[in-house]
Structure 1
Amino acid sequence: MSQPIAVYYQKFANRWKTLVFCGLLLIFKSNLTLASGEPFPIGAKSWGIGNATVALADRNAVFNNPAGLGFLKDNFVSSSYHARYNIAGLQTLSLSGNYNAKLANIGLGVERFGDKLYNEQKLGIAIGKSMNRVALGLKVSYFQAAIENFAAKNTLLTEFGVMTKLSSKVQVGFHAYNLTGAKLFASQQIPTVLRLGLSFSPTKQILLVTEAEKNIELPTLIKAGLEYQIVKNFYLRTGLTSKLNNAHFGFGFQSKQLIFDYALSSHSALGFSNHLSISYQIGKSSNQ
């Protein structure tokens, strides 16, 4: 094959793969929550309990509700890997950390989804402040989406959260994603997503969570999850999501300062997804 023909063939193949992948994005968009900068739940713990995380102040708060940072007493560094439906190019990697300062708690999160054909990157900084039983959180992210040999767009995304301790066993959380109505393309607005939920811990071994999620362009989702500590530092998890036909299972283990979480989620039509997280607890904060 001559050099000009080879170059032409390679360009044609690249464009064809791009078109095919874009078609898959359009087909699976409503089920995969992946195109257009829509929020993707981060953390294997989150997936193990059905992603009903809006009322949890844990190591994934920088992604799932920045208000949770205000209630965090420990500093964490976490990394997560999400492989969806065994489809190449649908992987998400993340890295996050938080730091408890005197005035407020700060979190930093990085996400990358996709491959060379299509990918999304987010770099966000969040701040959380607690005032007795109430915590407020704000996050601003730089978001970029790129399609190989076609286009690359970027914008800023804002998030706001509130979390309230009704008692030592009950917390309520609210989170709003894309408050400013940012757009990726002129004709494509990134969705605004509102979430309201409750966490209830009747004993030290049991955690119950539930959440309602409303994407303004889609029907309301109801989520519910359960975490049970069967022995010290070992947790079993399960959860359900309405209308998406999703089931969730997982477990977690903590050895001193190292935390390992794994979850398996299933979809009746698309199959299984695997979620893995490794976190390191740096130490106790001065606020504790």
Structure 2
Amino acid sequence: MSKQYAVNDGRNSIRWKTFFFCWIICLFYSKWAVASGDPFPMGARSWGIGNATVAISDNYSVFNNPAGLGFIKDNFTSASYHARYNIAGLQTLSLSGNFNTKYLNAGIGIEQFGDKLYNEQKIGVALAKSTNRVSLGLKVSYFQAAIENFASKNTLITEFGLLTKLSSKLQLGFHAYNLTGAKLFASQRIPTVLRLGLSFTPTKQILLVTEAEKDIDLPMLIKVGLEYQIVKSFYLRTGITSKLNNVHFGFGFQSKQFLFDYATSNHSALGFSHHLTISYQIGQTKAS
């Protein structure tokens, strides 16, 4: 009996080692396949309202729709941390700044995803030009993805954005990501994603947003979000995303020149993610 138990223990040990090895391989390649340059929404405010950000203008427009930079009157520097599903290696960090000039508004954004096994870096520069009602934006990013001791690839990603004020309370936004169809490998194209949405402010305290997102290879997503200003400088947020079963909640407040935003999002299968942003208002540009 003892020999039989020893044989069974050996077989079980081999099975567990095989299972563990396969799990590592699957995780390894799933990171490569899922991340691979996808446009990841930045900023805790974005996540608080369900990432329906294409039709709003804020200090994270440099990531979410470069056309939004054209309507920003303030200059900001911001830092964000995104922890997805409490899984090691799925964290995203970002730094950004936007700067207004006489002729154009500019922004720079830096993103870092992953760990030493698999990681992505992206640095992009965006320019936006606005009139009283329309803003156009263009962004070019250098993107690099690397797998430890295996491969490292890089390419350029282009984005185009449009934001227009249909009325004093209604805005329409459009954003196209990876217009040129950039690839990391011949068989791995970075996603091309189109987004169209509206933002509506029925009162000074309420912001309603909705957005349709279409990856050209995936079904369309519909996003809806709400931001409510409870008291001066304090906001509550919520949102929902179709098909992905994501529910979002968040809040934000401003203390002098500092802005603090936090959000959490829940996926029915993968669990909770947490998002934190700290921004500093450098100065204000006089309205033209």
Q: TM-score, normalised by structure 1?
A: 0.90
Moved more, 174-183 or 21-30: 21-30
Aligned partner of 2:126 in structure 1 is 126
CA deviation after TM superposition for structure 1 residue 21, in Å: 5.1
Aligned letter for 1:137?
G
**SS where residue 286 of structure 1 aligns?**
coil
Aligned partner of 2:8 in structure 1 is none
**SS where residue 103 of structure 1 aligns?**
coil
Aligned partner of 1:249 in structure 2 is 249
Inter-partner Cα distance in structure 2 for 1:165 and 1:199: 10
Aligned letter for 1:91?
Q
Inter-partner Cα distance in structure 2 for 1:98 and 1:18: 45
In the alignment, structure 2 segments of 5+ residues that lack a partner are 1-19
Aligned partner of 2:9 in structure 1 is none
Q: Among 5, 27, 36, which residue is 1:24 paired with?
A: 27
Aligned partner of 1:226 in structure 2 is 226
Aligned letter for 2:97?
G
Correspondences of 1:133-144 after superposition (within 5 Å) = 133-144=133-144
Tell whether the 8 Å contact from 2:31 to 2:118 is kept in structure 1 after alignment. Answer: no
Aligned letter for 1:224?
V
Tell whether the 8 Å contact from 1:164 to 1:172 is kept in structure 2 after alignment. Answer: yes
Correspondences of 1:99-110 after superposition (within 5 Å) = 99-110=99-110
Inter-partner Cα distance in structure 2 for 1:131 and 1:272: 41
Tell whether the 8 Å contact from 1:102 to 1:287 is kept in structure 2 after alignment. Answer: no
Tell whether the 8 Å contact from 2:126 to 2:140 is kept in structure 1 after alignment. Answer: yes
1:165 aligns with 2:168: no
Tell whether the 8 Å contact from 1:18 to 1:148 is kept in structure 2 after alignment. Answer: no
Identify if the C-alpha distance between structure 1 residues 70 and 192 changes in structure 2 by more than 3 Å, giving closer, same or farther.
same
Inter-partner Cα distance in structure 1 for 2:185 and 2:21: 18
Q: Deviations over 1:244-285 (max 9, x none)?
A: 000000000001110000000000000000000000111111
CA deviation after TM superposition for structure 1 residue 26, in Å: 4.6
Inter-partner Cα distance in structure 2 for 1:22 and 1:127: 41
CA deviation after TM superposition for structure 1 residue 18, in Å: 10
Correspondences of 1:55-134 after superposition (within 5 Å) = 55-134=55-134
Aligned partner of 2:39 in structure 1 is 39
Runs in 1 of length 4+ with deviation above 3 angstroms? 17-22, 25-30
Inter-partner Cα distance in structure 2 for 1:100 and 1:135: 14
Aligned letter for 2:118?
Y
Tell whether the 8 Å contact from 1:140 to 1:158 is kept in structure 2 after alignment. Answer: yes
**SS where residue 36 of structure 1 aligns?**
coil
CA deviation after TM superposition for structure 1 residue 287, in Å: 4.0
Aligned letter for 1:260?
F
CA deviation after TM superposition for structure 1 residue 168, in Å: 0.9
Inter-partner Cα distance in structure 2 for 1:206 and 1:169: 11
Aligned length: 270
Aligned partner of 1:194 in structure 2 is 194
Inter-partner Cα distance in structure 1 for 2:89 and 2:29: 14
CA deviation after TM superposition for structure 1 residue 286, in Å: 3.5
CA deviation after TM superposition for structure 1 residue 36, in Å: 1.4
Tell whether the 8 Å contact from 1:21 to 1:117 is kept in structure 2 after alignment. Answer: no
Inter-partner Cα distance in structure 1 for 2:25 and 2:126: 31
Inter-partner Cα distance in structure 2 for 1:232 and 1:21: 49
**SS where residue 47 of structure 1 aligns?**
helix
1:175 aligns with 2:165: no
